[in-house]
Structures are given as C-alpha cells and as structure tokens.
Structure 1
Amino acid sequence: MKEKILIVDDEGDIVSFLKDTLEDEGYEVFTAYDGNEAIEKSRLYPDLILLDVMMPNKNGYEVCRDIRDIVSCPIIFLTAKQEEQDIINGLSIGGDDYISKPFSLRQLKARIKAHLRRDRRNFNNHEKSNLYFGKLSIDLKGRMVYVNGELIAITKKEFDIIEFLAANCGQVFSKEQIYEKIWGYDAEGDSSAIAEHIKNIRRKFANFDSDIEYISTIWGVGYKWQKGI
C-alpha cells in the first residue's frame, strides 16, 4: 500500500510542484492550503506531513499542536523563516524536522525517505502507541478506538480482540486461536463468543464508517484484520 503524505502550504505553485514530484516517487498525496484544512485532512492519517509555517487561519505551529492528538507521524516544517529560535519552536512543539525555503528537492526527498524508514522501524519494534488504518486509529496505551476522529464506545474484550487482530494485520486467526489469546488457555467458555463480539465490533465501526470492513471473515478458517484505505 502506498505511503500517504499530506502537503500543507498556502502557495499553490509549491503545492502543485511537490504533489507531482511525490506522486512520481510512488506516494499517495493529499493537499491543504490553510491551517483549518490541514487539521481536517490530518484525519486521513497520513504517514508524513510537510507543513508550512506562515499560513492563513492557523499558522504551522498551531496546526502542529492541534494535530498531535490525532497523528503521531513525522512532521517536516517547510518555511522561509530561518532564525534559530524559529527552528527551536518548531521542533519543541512536535515537529520532527525543519527545512528552509528555498530547499533542495533531492534533500527533501531524502529526508522524507529517512523519516518514513525510521517510522517503519519504530512500528516494527512496537514502539508506537497508536495504530492507524485509514479512517480508524487505535490508542494502545489509552485503550481507545477512533473512527474519523470520533471515539467508539467499546468493551474491554472488544478492545482486546481489536488490538490482537490489528497488531497482526493480514494474518488469519481461527475463533479458537483468538479465544485462547484473549481469554487464556485455561478459560472456561466457548469460542463461539468470538463471532458475537466481532459482530458487535463491526456494527460499531459501521456507525461511523460503512465503507470499510476492517475485520474480514475468511470462510472456513477465521478472521483477519485488513488495512483500511
């Protein structure tokens, strides 16, 4: 699946140029032209954000503060402001890198690749506290699930099932395997309860996003989590 990049800048020529360039590199690219639109587009859960500082409505620093509760992806500031204090401000509020305009396109592409590579390593090492699948995000530490930024009311066992399947995205598990993982090997009960829990999870997700079924049924085998778009 293509990695997603959000470009935020009020200069249309820069946005258009970067969008074409990054799409040629194989990325899926979203764009925003002011701070408010940037916050809205962040709910698409990009893998990386290129964020201008000087913009209408909200500047880049304000946007960065506001979206850090939504996304944990790398944020690279692109700006003409080159004072040391500006750089310190950007990095201290949640930015990961700072590139001054005018910038070298080769350097920018190299930094994007480096940040995405580092982010993938963190994900594989289970260092992330959040998992993102399209419009859905899972807060592992807070044990909360959001769809389109809306908190979903789920039970403890429902979260355990979601966490287990999502952490093993693409892998198929039987009802028995899921039951043993969540309830334990010595638990007294029936693995048929898994089907009912998954039915409830799907119903709750569908209330907020009916386009994607995150938990797929593999007939005769079990269930798997599929990554949203």
Structure 2
Amino acid sequence: AGPLQFSVERMEVSWKKTPVPLTVTEFWLIHSLIRHPGHVRTRQQLMDDANVLVDDQTITSHIKRIRRKFVKVDAEFDRLDTVYGAGYRWKPE
C-alpha cells in the first residue's frame, strides 16, 4: 500500500503509519493531488477540488504548510513537487 494511508470516510491521512494532522482544506488539496499521481494539478484545479475560492498565494501557503506537516513526520518526505509556472504534483512511488 506504500507509506501513504488516506481515508476519505474518516478524513484522515497517515504517512508511514503516523497521522498527519491536516485542516479540511489541506485534506482536500492532498486528495486532489493523490488522485492524479504524477500529473500536474493547477492551482485552479486544486481550488475546484477543495471547493475553495482563494488566490494563488493562499494555495501556495497551504501547500507549504502541508509539506511542513509531512516533513515533521518524515524528514525525507519529498513526494509533493512544485512545478514552476504550472502547479503541483504528487510524485508516484
């Protein structure tokens, strides 16, 4: 199953069996990314999937916080890519 455990029903995310405490918006942003591993998701697609209407900087801030939360669980976490000028991507295993 890999290091990521994800439950939409319980709105829980774990990395290497350790819970990652995400806000509701962060949860839906990660959900959008992991549903399309390897594919770049634009900020607009992420906003649509998370059902939020915010500016690009806010999405950037959310992604930084999400990355920080995963790194706190695993210092070597590197699955969340920034694709300059395009958006973000969840790197498949």
TM-score normalised by L of structure 1: 0.38
For 2:89, the aligned partner's letter is K
Q: Does residue 192 of structure 1 match 2:67?
A: no
Q: More relative contact order in 1 or in 2 (CA 8 Å, sep 6+)? A: 2
Q: Bigger CA drift: 174-183 or 192-201?
A: 174-183
**Which of structures 1 and 2 has the bigger CA Rg?**
1
Deviations 1:169-207 (A, max 9, x none): 1111121221233235xx4x3132111001001001001
Tell me, yes or no, if the aligned pair for 1:218 and 1:224 is still in contact at 8 Å.
yes
Aligned partner of 1:137 in structure 2 is 5
% identity of equivalent residues: 29
CA distance in structure 1 between the aligned counterparts of 2:55 and 2:8, rounded to whole angstroms? 27
Q: Does residue 153 of structure 1 match 2:21?
A: yes
Q: Does residue 221 of structure 1 match 2:86?
A: yes
Deviations 1:104-129 (A, max 9, x none): xxxxxxxxxxxxxxxxxxxxxxxxxx
CA distance in structure 2 between the aligned counterparts of 1:146 and 1:181, rounded to whole angstroms? 20
Tell me, yes or no, if the aligned pair for 1:175 and 1:192 is still in contact at 8 Å.
no
Q: Bigger CA drift: 203-212 or 175-184?
A: 175-184
1:150 CA drift (Å): 1.3
Aligned partner of 2:33 in structure 1 is 165
CA distance in structure 1 between the aligned counterparts of 2:73 and 2:14, rounded to whole angstroms? 9
CA RMSD of aligned residues (A): 1.6
CA distance in structure 2 between the aligned counterparts of 1:135 and 1:181, rounded to whole angstroms? 23
Unaligned runs of 5+ in 2: none
Aligned partner of 2:44 in structure 1 is 176
CA distance in structure 1 between the aligned counterparts of 2:85 and 2:68, rounded to whole angstroms? 22
* Secondary structure class of the residue paired with 2:22: coil
Number of residues of Structure 1 aligned to a counterpart in Structure 2: 93
CA distance in structure 2 between the aligned counterparts of 1:197 and 1:142, rounded to whole angstroms? 21
Runs of 4+ in structure 1 over 4 Å off? none
Tell me, yes or no, if the aligned pair for 1:175 and 1:222 is still in contact at 8 Å.
yes
Structure 1 191/215 Cα, relative in aligned 2: closer, same or farther at 3 Å?
Answer: same
